[in-house]
Amino acid sequence: MSYFVYILECSDGSLYTGITKNISKRLDEHNSSPKGAKYTKARRPVKLVYEEPSFDRSTASKREYEIKKLTRLKKLQLITLKWLSIWYRI
């Protein structure tokens, strides 16, 4: 698993989806570096609310596209299901 798809919650409550090889480094860039995405720069601070491993960049990009097409409600449901699976070890 060399890539991750992630969702950030921005300070204005909006959600941002992206891919990366290093989640902690990318989160740092979104919060304090000029390398952060243009969208998140104006909505700092951001926090990580979802991550999903992918085998390669192609798979991660396809999954990112799928998630970006979801409605906000569906994204929130995805985030909730992930947290419930962690909490209840499903």
Range of the domain at 14: 3-88
Number of domains comprising the chain = 1
- What confidence score (pLDDT) does residue 26 get? 97
- What confidence score (pLDDT) does residue 90 get? 58
Write phi, then psi, for 65 (nearest 5 degrees): -60, -45
Task: Give pTM, 2 decimals.
Answer: 0.91
- What confidence score (pLDDT) does residue 87 get? 76
pLDDT tens digits, the chain, 90 residues: what are they? 699 999 999 999 999 999 999 999 999 999 999 888 999 999 999 999 999 999 999 999 999 999 999 999 999 999 999 888 877 775
DSSP tag of 10? -
- Cα separation of 6 and 8, whole Å? 7
- What confidence score (pLDDT) does residue 1 get? 66
Please, where are the H alpha helices in 1-90? 23-32, 38-41, 57-69, 72-88
Q: Identify the CATH number of the domain in which residue 18 sits.
A: 3.40.1440.10
